Structure 1
Amino acid sequence: MSYQFEELFADIQKDNRKVLDDIEPFEHPLVVLLRKCLEEQEYMLDRLIEEFEEGKTELKDIKTNCSALFHANQKVNPYFAEWKRATGWIGYKDDTPSEELMKSLEERLDEMQDDLIEIAAKLDEEYGESTTKYFIPTFYLPEERVN
Structure 2
Amino acid sequence: MIEDRKTDRWPPGRRPASKWWLLAKDENLGVGMLVADCGGEQALPVFSGEGEAEMFVWLGGAFEDDWRVRETSAGELVSILYGPCAGVGRVALDPSPEMAAETIRLVSVSRERFVSWIVDSQCSYSPKASAGHHARGLARLL
- More helix, by proportion: 1
TM-score normalized by the length of structure 1: 0.27
Q: Which has the higher contact order (CA 8 A, sep 6+)?
A: 2
- More strand, by proportion: 2
TM-score normalized by the length of structure 2: 0.27
